[in-house]
A and B are shown apart, each in its own frame.
Chain A
Amino acid sequence: MIELRNIDKDFVVSKTETNHVLKNLSLTINDGDFITLIGSNGSGKSTLLNTLAGSLKPTKGEIYFDGVNVSKLNDYQRADLIGRVFQDPNLGTIGDISIEENLAIAFKRGQKRTLSWALKKNNLALYQKYLTPLNLGLEGRLKEKMSSLSGGQRQAVTLLMATIRKPKLLLLDEHTAALDPKTSRKILSLTDNLIKDNQLTALMITHNMKDALKYGNRLLMLQEGRIIADYSKEEKEKLSVDDLYQKFDEAEDLN
């Protein structure tokens, strides 16, 4: 179980101006939740994700993973708990080194890195085993440079890297937004399968309302740094895209 307790996140813009991005935000993520997160630009979606990952520290409030307070830990110190896939396919992987080397780096996430050889024969077979179900033919291309892959293929590998060591929480930051529609669909269903097969807990930001309704078992709506709606699987199934727009409009009128 992951808990956010009364999180404030402020950005100082100038001496007289402070931007309050997250406002007293509390959230409990249960094990096995696959949450889709929607909200307009500037609503604080990415800030929320970065705060969970440790790339940003909350101004106020605490974050607990299974009862352990991780608020003070940096992103690399929390990496054993968190798998991340970014919007930009180039951010999650390194183009200049081989696919195998990328996977070897991810395979050591949350583990002690030693002076033993990074590319091990035994692991190569393991990587091939993981890559085969992606149906991208990458299992035979492990020695090739990452940059020889397309954006969609790179996101697929990043997904694999983020989950090769089972994370407590998988963070997906609009990870299909930079892809063409067909590839985006493929990567989303791959994501869904990975989460189901490995019983992962995941939080996915999306701009696509249909995807927000189609995937996951819970839907969060964020507006001006506050959670304005938290729909369960049953509630979500009854909703339409229009209902979501209406909800956003109502929230705006209240402000």
Chain B
Amino acid sequence: MNWSAVFQFIGTDAPTQGLIWAIVALGVYLSFKILNVADMSVDSLFPFAGIVSLTLINVGVPALLSLLIATLLGMVVGFINAALHVYLKINPLLASIIVMIALYTPNVIISKGNVTLAENMNTIFMTFDNIWNNMIATKIVVLALFVLGTFILIYWFFGTEIGLSVRASGKNETMAKANGINTNKTYILGLVISDGLIALAGSLYGQMSKHFSADAGRGSIVIGLAIIFLGEVIFANKSFKMSLISLAVGGLIYWLIIDIIIEIPSFNTNYLNLTKALFMTVIIGIYELKKKLAKKKNHQEMPKDNPEEVTA
């Protein structure tokens, strides 16, 4: 084991991975936390976007445009996912599983199993690298800009009247409807944005690694969820703004931990998915425990209408 290579790996991989998965976590946060549904389609949408993006570049489409097209296709997938529930009344979880399975087919057909960036073709990272001539710095700067852009955009959107109505629909459908909110529309809008973010992240991931295989991406939803829970464990989730910040920080910490685990000399990478699942279980365990304790404390402090009337 070459330890200098290990340090180099930790020093380069965790930030880039962390930044990309922060965007995935943001997408999963919108479906899981705001709309209250588990969107399983993430597992095949993430590779779908990467494969589409690389394939488009290989046929001569500019890198930035391919990113845009893949993101838009992700939004279409989100619409189909939501429409299955809204118009065909399919249970949201089942609808997302249907979409997940369906996307495997284009993934295999487009990539023919594997897609690799053709020689002489440029990703968005290479385009910007001509300025700095330092690939690691370029990757981090470009990804950080995307994270900043998406997070600011999402923060802004959910502060608008329409964004607030999407949040209301996920939290309390009865209240939302009583206040004139069409909860079908807000559900569609929420999933379209969520899946657009997943596709953007998948596309960035594809362009960064210059390679995507059709069966990559399995377990993406687990990583996204783990980052959300990790963020909530670290930050005691105070406001919407803090929740968003916790996702970005959670993404970095998650990959730092995973990288450290991978670099344990005796670690067999065949155990990686099991490790991730166990890691997620531990995080959710801690999260639930913290919630339970907070509830206990809260219960004692629950405001009463007439404290003097309450007898022990």
Binding site for B on A (CB under 8 A): 53, 55, 74-77, 79-80, 82, 84, 86, 90-94, 96-97, 101, 104-106, 108-111, 113-119, 148-153, 161-162, 179-180, 182-183
Contacts and interface: CB of A to CB of B under 8 A. Distances in A.
B171 A76 contact: no
Closest 5 CB pairs of A and B: A79-B180, A183-B305, A152-B305, A150-B303, A113-B161
Nearest to B172: A94
21 contacts: A75-B177, A76-B177, A76-B180, A77-B180, A79-B177, A79-B181, A86-B174, A91-B172, A92-B178, A94-B171, A94-B172, A97-B171, A104-B164, A105-B164, A115-B160, A118-B164, A150-B302, A153-B303, A180-B305, A182-B305, A182-B306
B179 A115 contact: no
Contacts of A94: 168, 171-172, 175
From DSSP, what is the main secondary structure of chain A's interface residues?
Answer: loop
Given A118-B160, A148-B303, A161 B168 contact: no
A147 to B, nearest CB: 9
A82 to B, nearest CB: 8
B179 A108 contact: yes
Given A94-B171, A105-B168, A118-B164, A80 B180 contact: yes
Is the interface on chain B under 10, 10 to 19, 20 to 34, or 35 or more residues? 20 to 34
Interface of B: 157, 159-165, 167-168, 171-172, 174-183, 302-306, 309
B302 to A, nearest CB: 8
Given A76-B180, A108-B179, A109-B179, A151 B305 contact: yes
A76 B174 contact: no
Contacts of B306: 180, 182-183
Most chain-B Cβ atoms within 10 A of its Cβ — which of A79, A148, A161? A79
Contacts of A80: 180
Contacts of A111: 180
Contacts of B302: 150
A170 to B, nearest CB: 12
Contact of B180 (A110, A119, A152, A182): A110
Given A91-B174, A118-B159, A180 B164 contact: no
Contacts of A182: 305-306, 309
A117 B179 contact: no
Contact of A150 (B159, B171, B304): B304
Contacts of B159: 117-119
Given A118-B163, A150-B305, A182-B305, A76 B168 contact: no
